[in-house]
């Protein structure tokens, strides 16, 4: 059963933790947040799911100057 990974929904304390962390340290890579959620809450959450939460919050880990540079290309 160790090979089977069940992706958890982010609710309650884990969701609150993720939201607060993203607001405090928006530059943190989603893969690091994924590891933190696993360590702290024993949850396996995909990077895609973390990115969806970030998008809903309007929090990105990309600096504004990088985003503007992409738009000019």
Q: At what angle do helices 47-57 and 30-41 cross, to 10 degrees?
A: 110
Q: Does pLDDT of 30 surpass 90?
A: yes
- Comparing 10-14, 38-42, 64-68, the range with the smallest average pLDDT is 64-68
Rounded to whole angstroms, the Cα distance separating 65 from 44 reads 32
Q: What percentage of the chain exceeds 90 in pLDDT?
A: 62
> What pLDDT was estimated at residue 5?
46
Q: What is the pTM of this model?
A: 0.73
Mean pLDDT of 36-54: 94
Q: Does pLDDT of 38 surpass 70?
A: yes
């Amino acid at each position: 059963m160790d090979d089977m990974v069940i992706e958890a929904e982010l609710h309650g304390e884990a969701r609150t933790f993720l939201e607060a962390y993203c607001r405090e340290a928006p530059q943190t890579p989603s893969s690091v947040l994924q590891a933190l959620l696993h360590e702290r809450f024993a949850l396996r959450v995909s990077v895609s799911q973390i990115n969806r939460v970030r998008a809903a919050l309007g929090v990105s880990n990309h600096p504004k100057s990088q985003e503007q540079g992409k738009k000019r290309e």
